């Protein structure tokens, strides 16, 4: 039987979710967590996990309350169940158990195998009133990157492309600077700050010579991944000349001299196997998971993005539609006409906004394909 939630309970947990999102740029590799302490329906303290290694949300909220007697018979609202293991911080469960709470509201379980419902079990065994599932779907969606990484053993993958109104990604000669407006470029750098890794193909490096950093937005730059199956790129480009962030050069052909040159700037070469004359995507996902890349942003070009689409290997697609009609250009390289066995893919538009002169569309990949009559 599903619990029925009051308007006040819903309002307070929504506040906890808003707080949790403040950790978007710093909490990784931990999940985003928000906490609210309320007494008689009135909020008396708040907290969130600001950055990796810092205080967890519930400890921050508890510490803020100077008169600890106020905590007795108050309600604790958590967007994620408390941790039970020792990491950068002691287990939160130990501090929580020392206080006599009236109710403990937990939105979602922690899918980390070290926790995985254990925090809830311990609290209930201790006799606490644990009310689980308040805004559970919203809480899981907030940490979809964390859940994808832990459960599917691969990064959450966002594909992002700027396109002309008639669907081209770049001019005919291959360069894509600058289809999108300046405000969109800043938005793109904000998106980079959310990711742990950013990936592009050889042609994007050759045509645009990008830095792939967050220089237009105050945030950490993701690790850079360059796919060059045949190992053709020279090392004259910015992604190799800059020492930070680290660049991983992904190829199927080993070149010891180039590998040594990369190492001088702190960069690394990753050798993967081929599959049908392409990078083995399953092996790539395993390697990214091994490198602790929980959110991968794929920025191009058309062939690289299309390879992820062809393998149904993405979670979100973001299109920045620009107000240009190009007479000629380069677009996506979707399914081969001979590949009739590939299912159609269904996308759900989950968000749209105007940024400057551009229209940003955000789609979620649905698990079930469309069935056409």
Is 282 annotated as catalytic? Answer: no
Catalytically annotated residue among 58, 81, 203, 299? 58
Question: Among 99, 103, 73, 93, which residue's Cα sits nearest to residue 3?
Answer: 103
Strand partners, 271: 251
How far is 30 from 24, CA to CA, in rounded Å? 10
Phi and psi angles of residue 249, each rounded to the nearest 5 degrees, phi first? -100, 110
**Range list of β-strands (E), the chain:** 34-39, 42-48, 75-78, 103-106, 130-132, 156-163, 170-171, 197-201, 223-227, 247-251, 268-271, 295-300, 316-321, 329-330, 347-355, 358-365
Comparing CA positions, the residue from 53, 22, 51 lying closest to residue 35 is 22
Neighbours of 290 (CB within 10 A): 9
Structure tokens at 119: 């925090």
Phi–psi pair at 227, nearest 5 degrees: -95, 120
Residues 6+ apart with CB under 8 A from 292: 29, 196
Q: Could you please report the per-residue DSSP string of 225-262?
A: EEE-TT----S-SHHHHS-SS-EEEEESS--HHHHHHH
Which runs of consecutive H residues, i.e. helices, occur in 244-317?
Answer: 256-264, 281-290, 302-310
In 3-state terms, what secondary structure has residue 321? Answer: strand
Return the active site residues.
58
């Amino acid at each position: 039987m599903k619990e029925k939630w009051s308007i006040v309970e819903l309002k307070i947990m929504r506040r906890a979710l808003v707080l949790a999102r403040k950790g978007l740029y710093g909490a990784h590799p931990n999940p985003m967590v928000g906490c609210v302490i309320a007494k008689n329906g009135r909020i008396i303290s708040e907290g969130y996990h600001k950055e990796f290694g810092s205080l967890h949300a519930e400890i921050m909220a508890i510490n803020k309350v100077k008169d600890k007697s106020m905590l007795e018979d108050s309600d604790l609202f958590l967007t994620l169940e408390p941790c039970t293991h020792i990491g950068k911080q002691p287990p939160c469960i130990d501090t929580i158990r020392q206080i006599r709470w009236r109710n403990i509201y937990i939105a979602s379980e922690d899918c980390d195998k070290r926790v995985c419902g254990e925090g809830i079990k311990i609290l209930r065994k201790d006799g606490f009133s644990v009310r689980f599932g308040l805004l559970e779907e919203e809480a899981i969606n907030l940490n979809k990157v964390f859940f994808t990484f832990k459960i599917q053993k691969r990064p959450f993958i966002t594909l992002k492309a700027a396109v002309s109104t008639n669907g081209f990604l770049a001019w005919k000669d291959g360069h894509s600077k600058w289809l999108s407006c300046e405000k969109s470029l800043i938005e793109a750098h904000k998106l980079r700050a959310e990711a742990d890794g950013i990936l592009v193909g050889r042609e994007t490096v050759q045509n645009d010579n990008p830095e792939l950093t967050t220089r237009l937005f105050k945030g950490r730059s993701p690790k850079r991944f360059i796919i060059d199956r045949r190992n053709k790129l020279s090392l004259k480009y910015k992604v190799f000349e800059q020492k930070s962030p680290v660049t991983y050069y992904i190829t199927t052909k080993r070149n010891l001299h180039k590998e040594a040159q990369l190492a001088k700037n702190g960069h690394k070469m990753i050798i993967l196997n081929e599959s049908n004359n392409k990078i083995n995507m399953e092996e790539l996902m395993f390697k990214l998971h091994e490198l602790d890349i929980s959110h991968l942003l794929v920025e191009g070009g058309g062939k690289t993005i299309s390879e992820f689409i062809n393998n149904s290997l993405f979670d979100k697609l973001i299109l920045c539609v620009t107000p240009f009609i190009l007479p000629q250009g380069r677009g996506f390289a979707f399914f081969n006409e001979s590949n009739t066995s590939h299912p159609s893919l269904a996308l759900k538009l989950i968000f749209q906004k105007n940024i400057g002169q551009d229209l940003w569309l955000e789609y979620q990949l649905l698990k079930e394909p469309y069935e056409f009559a």
